[in-house]
Amino acid sequence: GQQLNQSPQSMFIQEGEDVSMNCTSSSIFNTWLWYKQDPGEGPVLLIALYKAGELTSNGRLTAQFGITRKDSFLNISASIPSDVGIYFCAGRSNTGNQFYFGTGTSLTVIP
Amino acid sequence: SAVISQKPSRDICQRGTSLTIQCQVDSQVTMMFWYRQQPGQSLTLIATANQGSEATYESGFVIDKFPISRPNLTFSTLTVSNMSPEDSSIYLCSVASGGAPGTQYFGPGTRLLVL
């Protein structure tokens, strides 16, 4: 199946710094989702995006649906230690029911 | 959102045996999926569990190895058959709302170690 490319693969940042990560696809999607997975847990949905150009926030997290419909971005402002985890993007086209998942970005926040 | 529970949460099994994982959702859902996540990897779709009919398997996954049941709109099981150490993974149940807009939610996962 299709897999989305996430960048960067891993990040090590100081507490308080801002974080940016992105997700790219070779196909056009009409829905983008962003998840966070803590160690030993299932992925938890953070943000859902449904329109090209849409910018949606959830607390310190902001995600954008790229205008090309082939990419999406997630920003975390003022990172804190509990932001540690793996962040996954997922995309779906309007011709299918299946979401395709990104390769993941591992975030480490150094206190 | 949907609340999803999975049983067992983890297990250690001997090779050659089988394990059945249960997934229970707190509301009726049309679409249920089973994923596998190997250590340090992304999520790989095993199959879509269809209520009242056979599951739809992705390339590389077969019914004999991963039989799936979906007796109603709130419950599904995945069996990992004739296990080998390569089957050691996290198995995740997921439910989705179809149409637009759509979202997808995951259970807490079942951590399987095959010795």
Chain B interface disruption, residue of A7, A54, A101, A106, most B CBs within 10 A: A101
E strands, chain B, in order: 4-7, 10-13, 19-25, 31-37, 44-49, 56-57, 68-72, 75-80, 89-96, 104-106, 110-114
- Which amino acid is located at A31 in the chain? T
- Which amino acid is located at B108 in the chain? P
Residue A1 has its nearest CB partner, among B41, B58, B96, at B58
User: Using one digit for the tens of pLDDT, what is the confidence trace for B19-34?
Assistant: 999 999 999 888 899 9
Contacts of A30 in chain B (CB under 8 A): 100
Closest chain B CA to residue A88 = B42
Diameter of chain B by CA atoms?
A: 43
| A56/B contact by beta carbon, under 8 A | no
Please tell me the distance from the alpha carbon of residue B101 to that of residue B57, in angstroms, as a whole number. 25
- Based on DSSP, count helices (H) and strands (E) in chain B, helices before strands: 0, 11
Please tell me the distance from the alpha carbon of residue B47 to that of residue B78, in angstroms, as a whole number. 10
Task: Answer whether residue A96 shows pLDDT above 80.
Answer: no
User: Using one digit for the tens of pLDDT, what is the confidence trace for A27-79?
Assistant: 999 999 999 999 889 999 999 999 999 999 999 999 999 999 999 999 999 99
Please tell me the distance from the alpha carbon of residue A94 to that of residue B39, in angstroms, as a whole number. 31
- Please give the share of chain A, as a percent, with pLDDT higher than 70: 98
Minimal CA separation from B15 to chain A, in Å: 23
Cis peptide upstream of residue A43 (ω within 30 degrees of 0): no
Beta carbons of A63 and A74 less than 8 angstroms apart: yes
- Chain A from 80 to 109: CB within 8 A of any B CB: 88, 90, 92, 94, 97-99, 101-104
Partner-chain contact A3 B100, CB within 8 Å: no
E strands, chain A, in order: 5-7, 10-14, 19-24, 31-37, 44-49, 55-58, 61-65, 71-76, 85-92, 100-101, 105-110
